[in-house]
Amino acid sequence: MGWLEGKTALVTGGGAGIGRAVVDRYVEEGAQVGVLELVEERVDELNDEFEDVHAIQGDVSEWADNERAVAETVEEFGQLDVFVGNAGIFDDAIHMSDLTPDEIEAGFDELFRVNVLGYMLGAKAALPELLETEGSMVFTASYSSFYPATGGFLYTSSKHAVAGIIRQLAYELAPKIRVNGVGVGYSPTNLSGIDALGQESSSAVPEEIDKRYPLTISMPEEYAGYYVLLADERNSRASTGTIIEADSGLSIRGADEPAGGTDL
């Protein structure tokens, strides 16, 4: 019997990277899983591969898509026990000094709509069903939710905001709903860049990043167990407002950036 037997989860951005690893592991642990995914080909792939997955194409930054994902997941599986807010984009570690004011505004609008507003809307849409089951929320936070120098000016700011979402919702929704996060380190997840800045996605592991970590770079599937733990009240009942730092030891060493991190 799996840890999540009889539970239903909804995972945003579940078609690739860490989100896909969480979907795979949740199914392995006995859960039924709804997925809100932007890329239609990934939606088709998930629906073709799994009997216990119902994937929906949509945009996490749109309220109607979040609402529809919750409704379809409950219609398909009868309940919702876990909401996993995971969809996100990256900023290619860009520095403020390399951005014009117009680029800051355009990058902020695009990245924060996905990384912050997407989590807020997903949580809001899932709330009524989670109150019924006294379920839980698990969000993908980051090393960048605590420290600088692995993301850029926009991404790091957004992941600090995610830490605020986790702690505020944990406070607001206790005692019925637990709210926690996983502060992941770098992983080759093909995270999309900011379209407005002409950035592309990449899954390559830069050599200079690999050398910073006391442990080896973790693959997406190596993070999935943390999401299982936080979704299972039998093994994490005492945790809310917690962000597990799963960063391959980077926080004990730092990012090895020189002071200032760039030449101005």
Catalytically annotated residues: 155
Return d(Cα 201, Cα 18) in angstroms, integer. Answer: 15
Distance of CA 127 to the CA centre of its chain: 17
SS3 state at 246: strand
Output phi, psi for 146, to 5 deg.
Answer: -125, -35
- CA angle 200/39/95 to nearest 5° reads 25
**Identity of the amino acid at 263:** D
Q: Is 260 exposed, middle or buried (0-12, 13-18, 19+ CB in 10 A)?
A: exposed
Count Cβ atoms within 10 A of the Cβ of residue 182 and give its class: 0-12 exposed, 13-18 middle, 19 or more buried. Answer: buried
Nearest to 242 by CA among 132, 146, 127, 115: 146
Q: Which H helix or E strand runs over 8?
A: strand 8-12
User: Hey, which bits of the chain come out as E strands?
Assistant: 8-12, 32-37, 53-57, 82-85, 136-142, 178-184, 243-246
**Which residues 6+ apart lie within 8 Å of 75 measured at CB?**
none
- Phi first, then psi, for residue 113 (nearest 5°) are -60, -40
